[in-house]
């Protein structure tokens, strides 16, 4: 989704460099939780958590 929106624009909105965003979202990346939340928010998404036994 970040690529379809534009990595440069997404990175600007998140407040990191384009290279930093690519690194954070790569297979070997290890983004902070704050970065994940910022990326999701920029893309208009929310993270939802529920108990595993609730399903």
pLDDT of 11-39, one tens digit each?
A: 999 999 999 999 999 999 999 999 999 99
Give the domain ranges of the chain. Answer: 2-54
pLDDT of residue 55: 59
Phi first, then psi, for residue 51 (nearest 5°) are -65, 140
CATH fold of 2-54, please? Answer: 434 Repressor (Amino-terminal Domain) (1.10.260)
Considering the entire predicted model, what is its pTM?
0.77
Distance in angstroms (rounded) separating the CA atoms of residues 10 and 43? 8
> Is residue 8 a contact partner of residue 42, using CB atoms and an 8 Å limit?
no
32, two tokens: 């902070």
Q: Give the side-chain half-sphere CA count within 13 A for 39.
A: 22
């Amino acid at each position: 989704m970040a690529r379809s929106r534009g990595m440069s624009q997404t990175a600007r909105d998140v407040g990191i460099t384009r290279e930093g965003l690519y690194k954070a979202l790569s297979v070997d990346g290890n983004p902070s939780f704050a970065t994940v939340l910022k990326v999701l928010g920029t893309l208009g998404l929310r993270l939802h958590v529920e108990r595993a036994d609730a399903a």
